[in-house]
Amino acid sequence: MNSAAVLDLANSPHAVVRPVPPGRVGVAEGFWADRMRTMRSHGLDRQFEQCEVTGRLRNFERAAGRLAGEFEGRYYNDSDVYKWLEAASYGLARTPSTALRARVDGVIEAIAAAQRPDGYINSYFSGPRTSWRYRNLTDEHELYCMGHLIQAGVAHRRSTGSDRLFDIVVRAADHICATFGPEGRQEPDGHPGIELALVELGRETGNPAYLRRAVFFLDQRGADPPNLSGLHYHQDHAPVREQRAADGHSVRLTYLAAAMADAAMDTGEAELLEASIRLWESAYERRAYVTGGLGSRYQGEAFGADYELPNDRAYAETCAAVGGIFWNARLLAATGDARYADWLEAALYNGALVGVSPDGAAYFYANPLAADSQPTPDDQGGVHSSGAQQTGGGHRRQPWYDTACCPPNIARLLLSLPGYAYGVSPGALWVHQYLPGHVQALLPDGKSMTPRIATRYPWDGDVDLVVDDAPDEPVELRLRIPGWAEGASLEVQGAREAVEPGSYASIRRVWSAGTTLRLRLPMDVRLVASHPRVQANTGRVAIARGPVIYCIEAADHPESNVDALVLGPDSNLRAHDEPDLLGGLTTIRGLAGVAVQNQSDELYGRFGGAKPELTGTTSLTAIPYYAWANRTPGAMRVWIPYVDH
């Protein structure tokens, strides 16, 4: 089943660009292949072990009545096992493994044993707590958990051809549809997730009831009086079709708004799609970090106001970057608009990737864009969902969390990543992301188009696309020109022309085998500025190159506090390939001014002029943001002061 889709829009009438299934995308080498291999060969196993030692797997055995003892952990912990199953299924599809398959089968067997005869399943609401079922949809995540089960079941079937998990999933979904609906309980879950799951299950089964229930759940939010809390936190403050601002819990919003776009591709409801786009504009045009991170507030793990984007206290949960990728992928499929592919790429190379260590086995929950050298405890108010965290220089990736949503979320993203690279529409093949390797795309008319890409992207902007095989009729190739790629050009058979950043360059012709397209994306070092209303970034710039956002970290600046470094017109920033640093990456080096800085200075004093006093200059090395916190702990900055010397 190598052609397993992550998002199967083959029969979605209102989709514009249908993703090419990841099984048709070969990613043999390069940036993402390395990371997928590490997650597949190491990260997945470590996550499984965490599920074992933390009792997440034992909970199913107990719910099945095969093991004594009390439920361990938090009531939503089943969802981590389901997300691991989804990730493992994608892993099996790419690289068969007897050991991994045995683990997957063992988990499925335990889930099967724990499922109630009516299809309900939740290992917490079992045994003595059976009667608590659905007592508190606002907080207790039962439909959220079953949503992840459904996503896992769909992925497992598509990846392995087995119905073993899928049958469980259909029973669970049928139970949900029988319990909730116009004739049943009319309430949503406090944490979205079931909606995305039911839309995709509808596609997999062809049963329109699942899509209808997905839309039903979408429309249970924001009722008057409220079905849940009425709070933004639960996305319950307004009907989803009327929501205008990305408020409340950021992960919840990304899952919800992704489902709105997703359902619209099947139902054709413009209202749902438009509302999702409105929320996207709020989120990504006024409330997103330059890294693609979402969520400006620890409190409520929430979006902030427009332009409220603190760097040191960015929450930017890894799951929100991943959820944002799901959302952008669906809006891209629904519209073909390159802006969604741009933000998808930003989150991929920065806000999501930063969430995982180079060995694939340690994870960030929150992702600040600035850290001071002093570790700071963050138990200040009892973060309900991520446990005590260190901020500042003490902020390090952890092997697991009490609330472990992020680790398997990044795993399922990485192991399905090739599914985000290509799309098809009638007569056209779209290239959204540039991964070296080949694709065997089936166009909607069933004809095959098989180009191959050679590139060192993101370190190099040269992308060569060779058509290996193509139909003997005109096919449009649509190549994404990233929004940052000012000066990009495309050469086809000796003719080079400029292409427009932030769009898809289109070439339609009858392709002969061996034809090469040479895309040149300028990889100059860029200084990025924020909208002036972003108060946190007044007087500061970020360093970027291609899709990669950079940061400066204490480990590269033993002589100077990174706080004190100041960029200016003479900084002369240049890229340097560093094949031996942190698995191989490109650093940016140059000169920085060193501001006079003395920690014993007064907190407030008379203003002495706009330009900081400099003690001299020093060499500056910036590394990709995703790579920070892998060496000696210390301060980090994405946004760096800039002064005209």
Closest of 352, 245, 249, 340 to residue 291, by C-alpha: 352
Angle at 203 between CA 206 and CA 263, to 5 degrees: 120
Site for its own copies in 293-332 (CB under 8 A): 297-308, 310-313
For residues 220 and 250, which CB has a smaller minimum distance to its own copies in the complex?
Answer: 250
Total residues at interface with its own copies (CB under 8 A): 79
Kindly report whether the peptide bond that precedes residue 225 is cis, defined as omega within 30 degrees of 0: yes
Site for its own copies in 545-574 (CB under 8 A): 563-564
- The amino acid present at 445, given as its one-letter code, is D
For residues 26 and 248, which CB has a smaller minimum distance to its own copies in the complex?
Answer: 248
Site for its own copies in 476-505 (CB under 8 A): 486
Among 149, 541, 552, 555, binds its own copies (CB under 8 A): 541
Binding track over 216-255 against its own copies, x by CB under 8 A: ---------------xxx---x---------xxx------
Among 539, 572, 576, 584, binds its own copies (CB under 8 A): 539
- Residues 237, 174: contact at Cβ < 8 Å? no
Q: What is the DSSP letter of 43?
A: I
Which of these ranges, 76-84, 110-118, 317-325, 367-375, lies near its own copies under the rule CB under 8 A? 367-375
Among 535, 572, 615, 619, binds its own copies (CB under 8 A): 535
Minimum separation from the CB atom of position 603 to its own copies (A) = 5
Which of these ranges, 13-21, 39-47, 70-78, 523-531, lies near its own copies under the rule CB under 8 A? 523-531
Q: What distance in Å separates the CA atoms of residue 546 and residue 291, rounded to the nearest whole number?
A: 12
**What DSSP string runs through 97-121?**
-HHHHHHHHHHHHHHHHHS-TTS--
Closest of 61, 59, 94 to residue 78, by C-alpha: 59
For residues 529 and 581, which CB has a smaller minimum distance to its own copies in the complex?
Answer: 529
For residues 370 and 413, which CB has a smaller minimum distance to its own copies in the complex?
Answer: 370
For residues 386 and 450, which CB has a smaller minimum distance to its own copies in the complex?
Answer: 386
Kindly report whether the peptide bond that precedes residue 375 is cis, defined as omega within 30 degrees of 0: no
Q: Does 431 bind its own copies (CB under 8 A)?
A: no
Kindly give the pairing relationship between strand 548-553 and strand 540-545: antiparallel
Q: What is the DSSP letter of 347?
A: I
Minimum separation from the CB atom of position 370 to its own copies (A) = 6
**Would residue 406 show up in a list of annotated catalytic residues for this protein?**
no
Site for its own copies in 370-399 (CB under 8 A): 370, 372, 374, 376-377, 379-383, 391-392
Element (H, E) at 211: helix 208-218
User: Is 333 in a helix, a strand, or coil?
Assistant: helix
Among 18, 35, 540, 557, binds its own copies (CB under 8 A): 540
Minimum separation from the CB atom of position 340 to its own copies (A) = 15
Minimum separation from the CB atom of position 308 to its own copies (A) = 6
Which of these ranges, 91-99, 141-149, 283-291, 578-586, lies near its own copies under the rule CB under 8 A? 283-291
For residues 521 and 542, which CB has a smaller minimum distance to its own copies in the complex?
Answer: 542
Give just the sign of the alpha carbon dihedral 634, 637, 641, 645.
positive
Q: What distance in Å separates the CA atoms of residue 527 and residue 588, rounded to the nearest whole number?
A: 12
Q: Does 117 bind its own copies (CB under 8 A)?
A: no
Minimum separation from the CB atom of position 284 to its own copies (A) = 7
For residues 442 and 566, which CB has a smaller minimum distance to its own copies in the complex?
Answer: 566
Site for its own copies in 591-610 (CB under 8 A): 595-597, 599, 601-610
Minimum separation from the CB atom of position 478 to its own copies (A) = 23
For residues 101 and 297, which CB has a smaller minimum distance to its own copies in the complex?
Answer: 297
Minimum separation from the CB atom of position 571 to its own copies (A) = 11
Task: Determine the straight-line distance between the first and last CA of the chain, rounded to whole angstroms.
Answer: 60
Q: What distance in Å separates the CA atoms of residue 276 and residue 267, rounded to the nearest whole number?
A: 14
Q: What distance in Å separates the CA atoms of residue 160 and residue 4, rounded to the nearest whole number?
A: 9
Minimum separation from the CB atom of position 619 to its own copies (A) = 20
For residues 71 and 233, which CB has a smaller minimum distance to its own copies in the complex?
Answer: 233
For residues 219 and 308, which CB has a smaller minimum distance to its own copies in the complex?
Answer: 308
Among 288, 348, 519, 525, binds its own copies (CB under 8 A): 288
Kindly give the pairing relationship between strand 390-391 and strand 376-377: antiparallel
For residues 559 and 606, which CB has a smaller minimum distance to its own copies in the complex?
Answer: 606
Q: What is the DSSP letter of 548?
A: E
Segments in 64-207 forming alpha helices (H): 78-94, 98-114, 142-160, 164-179, 194-205
Site for its own copies in 603-642 (CB under 8 A): 603-612, 641-642
**Would residue 613 show up in a list of annotated catalytic residues for this protein?**
no
Minimum separation from the CB atom of position 276 to its own copies (A) = 19
Among 56, 58, 286, 412, binds its own copies (CB under 8 A): 286
Active-site choice (301, 317, 345, 553): 301
Angle at 442 between CA 441 and CA 444, to 5 degrees: 135
Closest of 426, 459, 418 to residue 442, by C-alpha: 426
Closest of 255, 411, 235 to residue 320, by C-alpha: 255
Q: Does 526 bind its own copies (CB under 8 A)?
A: yes
Q: What is the DSSP letter of 588?
A: E
Minimum separation from the CB atom of position 620 to its own copies (A) = 16
Active-site choice (51, 177, 405, 551): 405
Burial class of residue 70 (count of CB atoms within 10 Å of its CB; 0-12, 13-18, 19+): exposed
Angle at 10 between CA 7 and CA 13, to 5 degrees: 105
**Order of all β-strands in the sheet with 422-425:** 18-19, 422-425, 428-431, 475-481, 503-509
* Phi, psi for 53 (deg, rounded to 5): -70, -25
Among 185, 531, 574, 576, binds its own copies (CB under 8 A): 531
Which of these ranges, 54-62, 79-87, 317-325, 538-546, lies near its own copies under the rule CB under 8 A? 538-546
- Residues 311, 535: contact at Cβ < 8 Å? no
Catalytic residues: 301, 405
